Chains A and B, each alone.
Chain A
Amino acid sequence: MMQLAVPEVPLLNVDNLVVEYGLGNKTVHAVSGVSLQVARGETLGLVGESGCGKSTLGRAVLQLRRAKSGRVLFDGEDLTAMEGETLRKMRRRVQLIFQDPIASLNPRRRIGDIVAEPLIIAGIKDAVERKRRVHEVLSAVGLDPDLVAGRLPHEFSGGQCQRICIARSLVLNPEFIVCDEPVSALDVSIRAQILNLLEEMKTRFGLTLLFIAHDLAVVKAVSDRVAVMYLGRLCEVGPSQQLFANPAHPYTALLLQAIPVPDPDVRPAESVAAGEPPSPIAPPSGCRFRTRCLRADQRCSAEIPELREIAPGQFAACHHPLA
């Protein structure tokens, strides 16, 4: 598989990952040969429409869903080959934040205990030390530990619950966090607060992030590079500015065009987006985007396009990329 140009040895290296689900006697091809790298200290944004396999990819990185084939190298070590205690140790370095903050908090447990849970699982027995860590991360996310530690999740708003989830993900001092749509369920004004908080935490704790979202503007706000996914495959990867200014893959261009812009002088383009994404149970041959692509030809149905470098650092999987 091709290596993508990143400044140093990547902290995360996903190599030709394939993840499938069984559905009755059928197979859902959720992630079909995805390769990507994330450099230490970098935020890689991952965008794509519902069902394209973003969460599956994120979960497979953490080994919460085992891949059918391919490798996930974290700091040079292959997580897909790890089991039991070794994997558990490794997991302390990699955390996950979910989309639905309220649902991901146990409603019957107090906030202090929820945030301390990863410490207990990691075997940190010193209660004083645990309390110190919990206070530290709750303060870091802008909550008053003395006021919130004893309360239950239902006493908090969605934005506050997401702060609590972020605190929980930070408590083990991880190096890498997969953020799976962390702001999609939040209102505009709260969303901005949480995005700013994530940026702040990233700098403060020296984190590396895989930031999953379906909103391109949200992804751009926090990402150094962006990867665009469609129906289980990567379409395009590149530096954020460059990819948004000059999309090379027709699907990236389509996504950009479809976004409603809060400016009445920008006339919404009559939707060129014909049709809907096909089912991942029977994905199209060749390029998976070809059933909706205006540029599709014979070759697109016969041959799977590989990612190739279109401009420095920008890679697209397309036989007929945009100029």
Chain B
Amino acid sequence: MSSPLLTIADVAVELPTPRGNLRAVDHVDLSLEAGRTLGIVGESGCGKTMLSRAVLQLLPKKAKLTGRVMFDGQDLARLAPESLRRLRGRDLAVVFQDPMTSLNPVLTIGTQLMETIQEHLELDAPEARKRSIELLAAVGIPAPEQRLTQYPHQCSGGMRQRIAIAIALSCEPKLLIADEPTTALDVTIQAQILDLLAREQRRRHMAMIIITHDLGVVAGRADEVAVMYAGRVVERAPTSALFKRMHMPYTEALLAAIPKLDAAPHTPLPAISGRPPDPTRPLRGCSFAPRCRYATGRCHEAKPALTSAEMPDHLYACFHPIQLAEGVGA
């Protein structure tokens, strides 16, 4: 196995709030190799965005980050701001849910693309312009030359996301982090954008992290999936292994709660009762225990660590894992 491009080791993010410290990310370990796609799924507030911001070193000022983020042999937490800035946008790129987070409303699309390209690559203006047009064409924008002179507000939401992707890809990054890139888009446009990301990822042999709350989005697109709950990774496995047999009750419950296209109308959904724990309150046992139908006394007392049983790459954090093969202990 080649050494990973990205290693997240014991990363925790705490945010001070009036009600006390909030555990946004609670000691997460993850790694990703070049050319691979990792899907991070979880419900609102489980820490997906804070984890990706920890990787990008773009946390809110008052946030406290511990643990290590190794990218391409460098510890990002120890990098000087200037080197970090060079790294972001060049080797490490990001696409947000709202494309306007990364687009400047008062600059034309051409200016924004060319500025990014010229800042990171040694190209003169005509070359950068040529490159910009190629990129816009690659992300499926019709008449790219005309688009260069337009402003973001003159484009539809789907177009803006394509442009944000073009800018993110402009310097051939080694890792692209896409934080809910299609959540704000319509389903037919979502399919187009996901196809676009997958195609560019393959073509460039780029590593990618797709963050989403939709298990359907990662099912067909990620090599590996990490499921987050209340700031922690609670299950992690190669995608096909995970969907074949989920070992963590939360993952199972989450999948069961999704309305299925092939179910008959008026079939009651197996809902998960209650809601996630308050991240400012101390938590002793398993964070899912108050909602888990398999919970025992032990689950309320101790925190289950991420472990594996049958397959070394299928990890779960649960004392009473489900769907384990006969004879395999927890």
> A residues touching B (Cβ–Cβ < 8 Å)?
49-50, 157, 159, 187-193, 195-196, 199, 214-218, 220-224, 240-241, 244, 254-271, 273, 276-277
* Chain A residues whose C-beta falls within 8 Å of the C-beta of B263 in the assembled complex: 220-221
B269 on the A face (CB < 8 A): yes
CB pairs A–B below 8 angstroms (13 shown) = A187-B43, A188-B213, A188-B258, A192-B269, A192-B272, A195-B269, A196-B268, A223-B265, A261-B220, A262-B216, A268-B195, A271-B191, A273-B188
* Chain A residues whose C-beta falls within 8 Å of the C-beta of B257 in the assembled complex: 188-189, 191-192
* Chain A residues whose C-beta falls within 8 Å of the C-beta of B243 in the assembled complex: 262-265
Taking each of B217, B219, B240, B273, which has the highest tally of chain A beta carbons within 10 Å of its own beta carbon? B219
Say whether A258 contacts B220, CB under 8 Å. Answer: no
B271 on the A face (CB < 8 A): yes
Q: Which of A190, A191, A258 contacts B187 (CB 8 A)?
A: A258
Closest CB-CB distance, A48 to chain B, in whole Å?
9
Given contacts A188-B254, A221-B263, A261-B261, 14 further A-B contacts (CB under 8 A): A159-B275, A188-B43, A189-B254, A192-B257, A192-B272, A216-B261, A217-B260, A217-B261, A258-B188, A261-B220, A264-B219, A271-B192, A271-B194, A273-B189
Closest CB-CB distance, A105 to chain B, in whole Å?
18
Say whether A214 contacts B187, CB under 8 Å. Answer: yes
Closest CB-CB distance, B265 to chain A, in whole Å?
5
Q: How many Å lie between the Cα of A222 and that of B264 in the bound state?
A: 9
Q: A-facing mask of B250-285, CB < 8 A → 1, else 0?
A: 000111011111011111111111010000000000
Residue of B nearest to A188 (CB): B257
B215 on the A face (CB < 8 A): yes
Say whether B44 contacts A187, CB under 8 Å. Answer: yes
Closest CB-CB distance, B247 to chain A, in whole Å?
16
* Chain A residues whose C-beta falls within 8 Å of the C-beta of B259 in the assembled complex: 192, 195, 215, 217-218, 220-221
Taking each of A199, A215, A271, which has the highest tally of chain B beta carbons within 10 Å of its own beta carbon? A271
Q: How many Å lie between the Cα of A254 and that of B191 in the bound state?
A: 11
Say whether A260 contacts B188, CB under 8 Å. Answer: no
Closest CB-CB distance, A23 to chain B, in whole Å?
15
Say whether A268 contacts B275, CB under 8 Å. Answer: no
Q: How many Å lie between the Cα of A218 and that of B192 in the bound state?
A: 22
Contact A273:B192 (CB < 8 A) given known A192-B257, A192-B271, A214-B186: yes
Closest CB-CB distance, A222 to chain B, in whole Å?
7
Say whether A189 contacts B253, CB under 8 Å. Answer: yes
* Chain B residues whose C-beta falls within 8 Å of the C-beta of A277 in the assembled complex: 186
* Chain A residues whose C-beta falls within 8 Å of the C-beta of B290 in the assembled complex: none
B221 on the A face (CB < 8 A): yes
Q: How many Å lie between the Cα of A254 and that of B213 in the bound state?
A: 23
* Chain A residues whose C-beta falls within 8 Å of the C-beta of B220 in the assembled complex: 260-261, 264, 266-268
Closest CB-CB distance, B194 to chain A, in whole Å?
7
Q: How many Å lie between the Cα of A187 and that of B272 in the bound state?
A: 11
Q: A-facing mask of B186-209, CB < 8 A → 1, else 0?
A: 111111101100000000000000
Q: How many Å lie between the Cα of A17 and that of B177 in the bound state?
A: 45
Say whether B191 contacts A273, CB under 8 Å. Answer: yes
Say whether A193 contacts B271, CB under 8 Å. Answer: yes
* Chain B residues whose C-beta falls within 8 Å of the C-beta of A258 in the assembled complex: 187-188, 190-191
Q: How many Å lie between the Cα of A224 and that of B267 in the bound state?
A: 12
Q: How many Å lie between the Cα of A71 and that of B264 in the bound state?
A: 33
B214 on the A face (CB < 8 A): yes
Say whether B43 contacts A268, CB under 8 Å. Answer: no
Taking each of A218, A259, A266, which has the highest tally of chain B beta carbons within 10 Å of its own beta carbon? A259
Closest CB-CB distance, A183 to chain B, in whole Å?
9
Closest CB-CB distance, A127 to chain B, in whole Å?
33
Q: How many Å lie between the Cα of A66 and that of B304 in the bound state?
A: 58
Residue of A nearest to B260 (CB): A217
Q: How many Å lie between the Cα of A214 and that of B188 in the bound state?
A: 11
Say whether A255 contacts B187, CB under 8 Å. Answer: yes
B156 on the A face (CB < 8 A): yes
B67 on the A face (CB < 8 A): no
* Chain A residues whose C-beta falls within 8 Å of the C-beta of B192 in the assembled complex: 271, 273
Say whether A189 contacts B43, CB under 8 Å. Answer: yes
Residue of B nearest to A245 (CB): B262
Say whether A260 contacts B195, CB under 8 Å. Answer: no
B158 on the A face (CB < 8 A): yes
Q: Which of B187, B215, B273 contacts A49 (CB 8 A)?
A: B187
B239 on the A face (CB < 8 A): yes
Taking each of A217, A241, A244, which has the highest tally of chain B beta carbons within 10 Å of its own beta carbon? A217
Q: How many Å lie between the Cα of A255 and that of B261 in the bound state?
A: 12
Residue of A nearest to B242 (CB): A264
Closest CB-CB distance, B200 to chain A, in whole Å?
14
Contact A262:B272 (CB < 8 A) given known A199-B266, A267-B220: no
* Chain B residues whose C-beta falls within 8 Å of the C-beta of A254 in the assembled complex: 188
Residue of A nearest to B291 (CB): A189
Q: How many Å lie between the Cα of A166 and that of B156 in the bound state?
A: 33
Q: How many Å lie between the Cα of A264 and that of B242 in the bound state?
A: 9
Say whether A221 contacts B186, CB under 8 Å. Answer: no
Say whether A266 contacts B260, CB under 8 Å. Answer: no
Say whether A271 contacts B195, CB under 8 Å. Answer: yes
* Chain A residues whose C-beta falls within 8 Å of the C-beta of B188 in the assembled complex: 49, 254-255, 258, 271, 273
Closest CB-CB distance, A165 to chain B, in whole Å?
17
Closest CB-CB distance, B275 to chain A, in whole Å?
6
Q: How many Å lie between the Cα of A199 and that of B258 in the bound state?
A: 16
Closest CB-CB distance, A129 to chain B, in whole Å?
33
* Chain B residues whose C-beta falls within 8 Å of the C-beta of A49 in the assembled complex: 186-188
Say whether B216 contacts A192, CB under 8 Å. Answer: no
Q: How many Å lie between the Cα of A220 and that of B262 in the bound state?
A: 9
Say whether A193 contacts B273, CB under 8 Å. Answer: yes
Say whether B261 contacts A260, CB under 8 Å. Answer: no
Say whether A240 contacts B265, CB under 8 Å. Answer: yes
Q: How many Å lie between the Cα of A68 and that of B299 in the bound state?
A: 61
